Amino acid sequence: MVDVDGNVILDMFAQFSSTPVGYNNPTLLQAIEENQSMFVNRPALGNLPPKDWAERLKNSLLSVSPRGLNQVVTMACGSCSNENAFKAMFMAYRRRERGGNNYSLEEMESCLKNEAPGCSDLSILSFYGANHGRTMGSLAATHTKWAHKLDFPTVDWPFADFPKLKYPLEEYVDENRKEEERSLGQVCDLIEKYNKKGRHVVGVAVEPIQAEGGDNYASPEFFRALQRICKQNGCYLLVDEVQTGMGSTGSMWQHETWGLDTPPDAVSFSKKMMTGGFYYSDELRPSEGYRVFNTWMGDPGRVVLLEALIKVVKQEELLRNVTRSGQTLLQGVMSLQNEYPHLLSNARGSGAFLAIDGSSGSFRDTLAVRLRNAGLHTGVCGPRTLRFRPMLIYREKHAFIALDIMRDTVREMNDKVW
């Protein structure tokens, strides 16, 4: 990446984790050339999809769909993907409650005035530290920074503690299991509490790795137990793969590494997937048109790019590459943390989705700025975490460049107490 002053920077944050195969990828550029009319003549997809739309979806989104989910809808961004997934969950839940009966006239009229019984008091449970987006509905399930939420009206939806695990995970198995049980206990209590007070929990939204909140991990057992709790309580499970989807963890979908008995009810995506949207089960399919709807419903041009991207990922075996280069980078930051344990700790990662904690927020912030000035662009998240979001095309040599810059910068910062 070259900035406005002409500095050449290794981009390990990739437009907030959203650039999959680098800038000006030739296969993607060619896809634009070959499909120019898709980019110039943008259809209102919900009403007027192009005639080959179904085929396009089969060749792109449906060719990489999570196991067991064969319904998909496109959206413009991560926030509106989650927001519409919430709506799909609310509709399916109310359909179940109505037992197949139609809506009453009273319901149809009252909802227009923001009143019951048409508007429900149902809720979505999410976790402290979660980021599910910044539109008003998705924001109600987001708990990251006050700047995202201050001044906006919202709804009373429950938050549970996301487990705060100790790293390296393999050294703290028992402690971490107890911490996860505590968090799961809270989920159960909150569902009971909210159901009792008439704000029934319809769905649970969770990120596979809580990203904006500080790259917080939980074990596959945690997620399997969470799904069991959802099933026991008649809630749907929405896995928000907006940041983890499309390979950066070494798997196309991180939740597929959990060994769930059945697929989640919905999986949202955006960022590296080029288009927003969500996959969902048959049960979540709305029974009428226009209920999950907007004018653009995403952008077919982005789906053209996704089709080209999938070709690149497969041809260049990029998932395998991510695992290899991610391992090199992780080993490197781990040895750096061993050299400077008073400054760096908790190196952790999955594939090339990596993070390390600084000794304080101010150390981390200064480190990020100095790294950038030295030619390495990284991201920050949580109170004191530095995150790496390399692109899928990065090889081991890029990891070595990043590690050289990290080592020099941390060494320079070692002369000061932070």
Ligand X SMILES: Cc1ncc(COP(=O)(O)O)c(C=O)c1O
State the residues that interact with ligand X by CB under 6 A.
Answer: 16, 77-79, 82, 131-133, 207, 211-212, 240, 242-243, 270
Q: DSSP letter at 162?
A: P
Q: What is the DSSP letter of 9?
A: -
Closest CA to 356 of 332, 340, 372, 333: 333
3-state helix, strand, coil in the chain (%, to 5): 45, 15, 40
Report the alpha-carbon distance of residue 260 to residue 228 in Å, rounded.
9
Given a contact cutoff of 8 angstroms between Cβ atoms, the answer to whether 303 and 297 are in contact is no
Q: Nearer Cβ to ligand X, position 212 or 299?
A: 212
- CB under 8 Å to 188, separation ≥6 — which residues? 229, 233
- Considering all CA atoms of the chain, what is the largest pairwise distance in Å, rounded to the nearest integer? 72
Q: How many CB atoms lie within 10 A of CB 41?
A: 10
**Is 300 within 8 Å of 38 (Cβ atoms)?**
yes
- Cα–Cα nearest to 403, from 370, 366, 371: 371
Query: At its nearest, how many Å lie between ligand X and the CB of residue 132?
Result: 5
Cβ of residue 188: shortest distance to ligand X, in angstroms? 24
* Residues facing 277 on adjacent strands: 74, 269
Phi-psi region of 98 (alpha: psi -120 to 50; beta: other; left: phi over 0): alpha
- Smallest distance, ligand X to C-beta of residue 244, A: 7
**Least distance (Å) from ligand X to the CB of residue 19?**
13
Nearer to ligand X, 132 or 200 (CB): 132
**Residue whose structure tokens are 């760096």:** 344
Minimum CB separation of residue 359 from ligand X in Å reads 25
Which residue's CB is nearer to ligand X, number 207 or number 307? 207
The residue among 95 and 148 lying less far from ligand X, judged by its C-beta, is 148
For residue 34, give Cα distances in angstroms to 29, 224, 411.
9, 44, 49
Residue whose C-beta lies closest to ligand X? 78
Q: Least distance to ligand X from the beta carbon of 329, Å?
A: 20
Q: Which is nearer to ligand X, 267 or 312 (CB)?
A: 267
Least separation in angstroms between residue 101's CB and ligand X is: 35
- Return the number of the residue (328 or 385) whose C-beta is nearest ligand X: 385
Q: Using the minimum distance from each CB to ligand X, give the nearer residue, 79 or 409.
A: 79
Comparison of 35 and 275: residue with beta carbon closer to ligand X: 275
* Strand bridging mode 376-377 / 10-11: parallel
Min dist. Cβ of residue 86 to ligand X (A): 12
